[in-house]
Amino acid sequence: MTREMAWMGFLATMLIVVVMGFNLLRESDKQEQAALELRIEAVKTGMDTYAENCVICHGAAGEGLGATPPLAGIALEADELYKTIDRGRYNTVMAAYGVDEGGILAPAEIDDLVTMIEVVNWGAVAVRVEELGLTPPEMVVVELTEETLVSVRALPDGAVLADGLTVYATECAACHGANGEGTTLAPALNTADLRSTMSDDEIIRLITNGVPGTLMAGWSNALTNEQIAAVTTLVRRWEDLDSAGIDLPVIEAEPIDMSPETLAHGAWLFSLTCTQCHGTDGYGTRMAPALNSQQFLADTPDAAIQQIIALGVSGTRMPAWGGRLSEYDIAALTAYLRSWEPTAPAIADVNAP
Ligand code: HEC
Ligand code: HEC
Ligand code: HEC
């Protein structure tokens, strides 16, 4: 073999390696491209599934509403995410969504949700949710004026009290009443009785862990220890607010009415928050019974319907909506359900899809 031949052979080999290498690179580029496109599709599908099933609790931008934890920035591994969505969380309102667990989502749909939660820009989710008209209604929140906060801060240890009141007004007032006086949903927190029977530690523990099987959720996910301590100080010192004459605006209760506007509002809320389980027009699904039935409507007075919607049915998938929907919202839903009565089937279609 001459040197030239050896040289040529070497060049040829190099050429093959280089060309092959490029081809290999191209091939993996193509695969990567295809994988990327699949991921984008998964994220898109996941966003829509999220909008239809999860926003009402986890928020349009995954920020977490009330005591529901945020999903934006969540640190769970993919398999843990999958398991949580598939099987739910025992003894909480986080239901099992997997079809094998009696839920409504196929494994592929849960896979897409997991991919989406892991990589999505949550701002884009909020935009998509808005596009679909599924942005959840605002929580009932008591507005605190700067004037009120200034008077509270002027009390001894006022900074902590003001923090406690801010947490209370946004997270607790909807159920416990604007001035801690209690509502049909939850007991009063401003009583001497409560102050004398519960220690600070007991109150802190109760707020942190909640009371399973009731509307009182655990707030350890949603509030910091400082915030829980501050709201506990508020409960402990409610008397001081009272004697300083600090009164928060009372949340208006709306009477149930059957006006077209109320029915339209009820219909909108129903399609937003109830059809996923109770089916289109309330005919029922595998997740929940039919509400559009003579049997149910004739046997259940308005007050009972309102109570069920507000408090949920503990130990079942029926969530408590009291903290998330206003009394007006709940009355509008009740009016909407009632409007079906004249045309409702005599017996609920228990075998609805
Ligand atoms: C009725 C309210 C509600 C709905 C609807 C809901 N969740 Fe949840 N979710 C919760 C609550 C409450 C928790 C916290 C449970 C606990 O304390 O462990 C939770 C927990 C989770 C967690 C674990 C969070 C963590 O930090 O550990 C994931 C993931 C999750 N939900 C995903 C979803 C997805 C996806 C959907 C829609 C298919 C959904 N959830 C629908 C209320 C809800
Ligand atoms: C969705 C409605 C709801 C929200 C929101 C809510 N609670 Fe409650 N809370 C309840 C219910 C219902 C009970 C009664 C539980 C029971 O039956 O033991 C309760 C009980 C309590 C108790 C014990 C009262 C007693 O006499 O035993 C405290 C303290 C309390 N809540 C504080 C808070 C604080 C602080 C917040 C806000 C961070 C809050 N709750 C938000 C519904 C709610
Ligand atoms: C995550 C699924 C789910 C969602 C969302 C849901 N429900 Fe339910 N609901 C159920 C289940 C399950 C039951 C049956 C509970 C039982 O076994 O008693 C139920 C029961 C009810 C009942 C009592 C029915 C009866 O026959 O006693 C009413 C009323 C009701 N839901 C209204 C609503 C309204 C209004 C909404 C929307 C704001 C809603 N539900 C959203 C799952 C759901």
From atom 36 of ligand 1, which residue's Cα is the shortest distance away? Answer: 54
Beta carbon of 85 within 6 Å of any ligand 3 atom: no
From atom 20 of ligand 1, which residue's Cα is the shortest distance away? Answer: 94
- What pTM, to 2 d.p., does this model score? 0.69
Of 15-24, 323-332, 336-345, where does the model show the most confidence? 336-345
The ligand minimizing its distance to the Cα of 275 is: 3
Pocket of ligand 1 (CB under 6 A): 53-54, 56-58, 68-69, 71, 74, 76, 81, 84-85, 89, 92-94, 97, 113, 319
The ligand minimizing its distance to the Cα of 140 is: 2
pLDDT for the residue 352 = 44
Residue 216, CA distances (Å) to 63, 168, 323, 346 in order: 20, 14, 10, 36
| Distance of CA 294 from the midpoint of ligand 2 (Å) | 35
Query: Which is the closest atom of ligand 1 to the Cα of 54?
Result: 37
- pLDDT tens, residue by residue, 169-181: 988 987 888 899 8
From atom 40 of ligand 1, which residue's Cα is the shortest distance away? Answer: 54
From atom 10 of ligand 3, which residue's Cα is the shortest distance away? Answer: 318
Average pLDDT of every residue of the chain: 85
d(CA 27, CA 178): 64
Using the predicted structure, report yes or no on whether residue 17 has a pLDDT greater than 80. no
| Distance of CA 311 from the midpoint of ligand 2 (Å) | 12
d(CA 275, CA 104): 12
| Distance of CA 18 from the midpoint of ligand 3 (Å) | 65
- pLDDT tens, residue by residue, 269-326: 999 999 999 999 999 999 899 999 998 888 887 877 887 888 787 677 888 887 678 7
- pLDDT tens, residue by residue, 57-72: 899 999 998 888 999 9
pLDDT band with cut points at 50, 70 and 90 for residue 187: confident
What is the domain partition of the chain in residue ranges?
Answer: 39-136, 146-243, 260-343
Least confident among 102-111, 160-169, 207-216, 220-229: 207-216
Using the predicted structure, report yes or no on whether residue 242 has a pLDDT greater than 80. yes
Q: Work out the average pLDDT over 93-114.
A: 91
Least confident among 19-23, 58-62, 95-99, 233-237: 19-23
pLDDT band with cut points at 50, 70 and 90 for residue 143: confident
Q: What percent of the chain has pLDDT over 90?
A: 50
The ligand minimizing its distance to the Cα of 88 is: 1
CATH 1.10.760.10, applies to 39-136: yes
Say which CATH architecture domain 260-343 belongs to.
Orthogonal Bundle (1.10)
Return the higher-pLDDT residue of 246 and 22: 246
Beta carbon of 238 within 6 Å of any ligand 3 atom: no
pLDDT band with cut points at 50, 70 and 90 for residue 91: confident
Ligand 1 pocket mutation, candidates 43, 52, 68, criterion most atoms within 8 A of CB = 68
pLDDT band with cut points at 50, 70 and 90 for residue 134: confident
d(CA 291, CA 281): 9
Q: Work out the average pLDDT over 230-247.
A: 93
Using the predicted structure, report yes or no on whether residue 48 has a pLDDT greater than 70. yes
Buried b (16+ CB within 10 A) or exposed e, 149-167: beebeebeebebbbbbbbb
Beta carbon of 267 within 6 Å of any ligand 3 atom: no
Beta carbon of 297 within 6 Å of any ligand 3 atom: no
Using the predicted structure, report yes or no on whether residue 22 has a pLDDT greater than 90. no
Return the higher-pLDDT residue of 76 and 132: 76
H or E element, residue 111:
helix 107-119
pLDDT for the residue 43 = 94
Using the predicted structure, report yes or no on whether residue 353 has a pLDDT greater than 50. no
pLDDT band with cut points at 50, 70 and 90 for residue 182: confident
Indicate if 260-343 has the same CATH topology as 39-136: yes
Query: Out of 1.10.8.60, 3.40.50.11540, 1.10.760.10, 3.10.310.40, which CATH number does the structure's domain 146-243 have?
Result: 1.10.760.10
Using the predicted structure, report yes or no on whether residue 148 has a pLDDT greater than 60. yes
d(CA 229, CA 206): 12
Helical H segments across 198-326, by residue range:
200-209, 225-236, 238-243, 260-273, 275-278, 294-299, 302-311
pLDDT for the residue 11 = 53
Beta carbon of 190 within 6 Å of any ligand 3 atom: no
| Distance of CA 210 from the midpoint of ligand 3 (Å) | 22
Q: Which residue has the tokens 């209604």?
A: 137
pLDDT band with cut points at 50, 70 and 90 for residue 26: low
| Distance of CA 81 from the midpoint of ligand 1 (Å) | 10
pLDDT for the residue 46 = 97
Using the predicted structure, report yes or no on whether residue 16 has a pLDDT greater than 60. no
